[in-house]
Chain A
Amino acid sequence: MKYITSVEGKQFLVEIIDEKHVSVDGKVYEVDFESVSGQPVYSLIVDGRSHESYIYQGEENWQVLLRGRLYPVTVEDEREKRLRAAAGGGVAETGEFHLRAPMPGLVVAVHVTEGQQIKKGQVILILESMKMQNELKAPRDGTIGRIRVKAGETVEQRQTLLSVV
């Protein structure tokens, strides 16, 4: 199976040959890959060099935490790559976006009203958790749609707070 894998703007053509071999841009490596006790911590031995890493699935990519550094990595197989190229490569800059609570907490303040125009990076809501007040910011320009919470409400993790259209 062939994949196109991008890390920080660099593209690699990674082929999984079999359980013990992968090739990167044509160069074949001997690999030994294990999940450490079923956790998102993985051990990888490449040609005798031992690496250990946390690998989390993000919303659009894989987050590889390796020796104190986080690498956002996108992995696409050839079919996915072709499909995306056909769709014009458009990321969700349009359409409805739901702002969800990144953690459970208490809504301290909602800084916007329904129908308000917002800019990317603008603070739209303050969520208190673990004694800290956290600013939730707009991920892109848009208009505030429905607001589903109000100040003083407690929210669960991933609960939808409001929508941006």
Chain B
Amino acid sequence: MAAAVNDTLGTDANTVVAAPKTPASEQVLRVAIPVGMLVLAIVAWEVYVLASGTPKYILPSPVDVVGALAIGWPTLLPSLWVTLSITFEALFLALIGGVGLAIILVQSKWIELALFPFAVVLQVTPIVAIAPLLLIYTPNTQTALLIVAFLVAFFPILSNMVQGLKSVDHNLLNLFDLYGAGRWQQLVFLKIPASMPYFMTGLRIGGGLSLIAAVVAEFAAGSAGAGSGLAFRLLESGYRLDMPRLYAALILLTATGVAIFGVTSFISWLVLHRWHESAVRREN
């Protein structure tokens, strides 16, 4: 077919037209511009603090923050580890629970109807508000934090996955019926692949929310001492007016958030870039 089109256009088959390439300078700029802006902002911050003489306990300079990070490392690192493990355990459980329950829900409308009220009640209740209750029911604070973070990350994954599993092309379902595919084949070869774009949205939202929930739940639960996460270090530094350390803890949280966003976006790209419009570059 392609040959026929070429003939009608009178294109010489030997003519080679180079595909347009993104110039190297543009590729450098794509990295240089955001990094440069970030560096510029940090420099401006440093200059402002030095020039205005703002005291450290109100606004520390970037150099102070880096210093605090270096000095506070022995306490900040274990706290970072606690927050990270709660975040990722919660996200992992939410992925298993959300995807698993979504698959069960779409098997029959009766199961969906039966479980629907519970899903709505849990979803509309501000989960952080039940943190004090969970503290009573669970053996330790960490478990309570894990449950809160799990519940928060669970619903976006569940609802996206249910939507995805239901959004299968009806004619493809007909085709599977025509070839006598069983439920299992329909799930594995059709419904799960078709729901991947939705799952990836759930993963990105759930990943961000599990970190937020791990921090907010720790604020609400008010853990202290050994085994505390970064949220406790934030509160502690605030009480001591140790602003450089507070900023250092904050930067660790931000870096964690950026890393989670980067990893989930990369997974999403890896799975979808060959076929889904959202991940394919538009070229006209």
Asked if A pairs with B, the answer is no
Interface residues of A (CB under 8 A from B): none
